[in-house]
Structure 1
Amino acid sequence: MILTVTLNMALDVTYEVPSVDWDGVNRVGAVHRRAGGKGVNVARVLAALGREVLVTGLVGGPTGRAIEEDLESAGLRSELCGIAGDSRTTLAVCETGGSRDRRTALFNEPGPQVTPAELAGFVRRYTSLASAADVVVVSGSLPRGVPADFYATLAGIPAAPVIVDADGDPLRHAPKGRPAVVKPNAEELARAFPGGQGAQELRSQGAEAVVVSMGADGLLAVTGEGTFRARMPYTVEGNPTGAGDALVAGLAMDMAEEWPDRLRRAAALGAAAVAAPVAGAFDRDVYADIHPQIVIT
Structure 2
Amino acid sequence: MIYAIYLNPTIDKTIYIDHFTIGGTNRVKSSILQGGGKALNLSVVLNRLGVPVYVTGFLCNRECSPIRNGLEDILTSFYTLEGEPRVNIKIVDRTTSVTTEINDKGPIVSKEALCEFEKGLLHLVKPEDTVVLTGSLPQGCPPDYYCQLMAMLPCRCVLDASGEALRQGVKQKPYLIKPNLEELGQLTGESYTSEDMSAIIDACRHLIQDGIDICVVSMGGDGAIIVNAEEAYFSKAAVKNPDSTVGAGDSMLAGLLSVLNHGGGLDEAIAVGTAAAAATISLPGTTLASSELIHQLLPTIHPEKIV
Q: CA deviation at 1:91?
A: 0.8
Q: For residue 90 of structure 1, what is the amino acid of its counterpart?
A: N
**CA displacement at 1:254 relative to structure 2:** 3.0
**Is 1:168 aligned to 2:163, yes or no?**
yes
Name structure 2 gaps, 5 residues minimum.
192-201
Task: Tell me the residue number matched to 2:223.
Answer: 218
Q: Does 1:66 pair with 2:65?
A: yes
Q: Is the 8 A contact 2:242 2:281 kept in 1?
A: yes
Shift of 1:209: 1.4
Distance 2:120 2:43 in 1: 18
The answer to whether the 8 Å contact 1:3/1:133 transfers is no
Report the secondary structure of 1:110's partner residue.
Answer: coil
Indicate whether 1:253 and 2:248 are aligned. no
Q: Does 1:271 align with 2:278?
A: yes
Size of the aligned set, in residue pairs, is 292
Q: What letter corresponds to residue 19 of structure 2 in structure 1?
A: S
Correspondence for 1:91: 89
Following the alignment from structure 1 to structure 2, what is the Cα–Cα distance between the partners of residues 217 and 19? 25
Q: Could you say what secondary structure the match of 2:272 adopts?
A: helix
Find the aligned partners of 1:134 and 1:146 in 2 and give their Cα distance. Answer: 24
Q: After superposing the two structures, state which structure 1 stretch, 132-141 or 160-169, moved more.
A: 132-141
Give the Cα separation in 1 of the matches to 2:128 and 2:86.
27
Counterpart of 1:122 in 2: which secondary structure? helix
- Rounded Cα–Cα distance in structure 2 between residues aligned with 1:2 and 1:160: 10
Equivalent in the alignment of 2:46: 46
User: Which residue number corresponds to residue 300 of structure 2?
Assistant: 292
CA contact (8 A) 1:155 1:177 kept: yes
Deviations 1:163-214 (A, max 9, x none): 1100001111112222110111112222343225643443243322111101
- Relative to the length of structure 1, the TM-score reads 0.88
Q: From 213, 235, 255, give the equivalent of 1:230.
A: 235
Asked whether the 8 Å contact 1:265–1:291 carries over to 2, the reply is no
Amino acid at match of 1:260: D
Say which of 162, 180, 185 aligns to 2:175. 180
CA contact (8 A) 1:41 1:280 kept: no
Structure 2: which amino acid aligns with 1:213? S
Q: Deviations over 1:73-114 (max 9, x none)?
A: x333321111235321111011223xxx32111110112221
C-alpha RMSD of matched pairs (Å): 2.3
Q: Which amino acid aligns with 1:156?
A: A
Residue type of the alignment partner of 2:80: G
1:239 Cα shift?
A: 0.5
Tell me the equivalent position of 1:28: 28
- Cα distance change on mapping 1:131 and 1:85 into 2, 3 Å: farther
- Cα contact 2:46–2:254 (8 A) shared by 1: yes
Paired residue type of 2:90:
A
Deviation at 1:58, TM superposition (A): 1.6
Alignment of 1:110-129 (within 5 A): 110-129=105-124
Distance 1:33 1:273, change over 3 A: same
> Which residue identity does 1:293 align to in structure 2?
I
Segments of structure 1 that go 5 or more residues without pairing to the other structure are: none
* Aligned counterpart, 1:79: 77
Change beyond 3 A, Cα 1:21–1:232: closer
1:109 paired to 2:114: no
Equivalent in the alignment of 2:197:
none
2:296 is paired with a residue of what secondary structure? helix
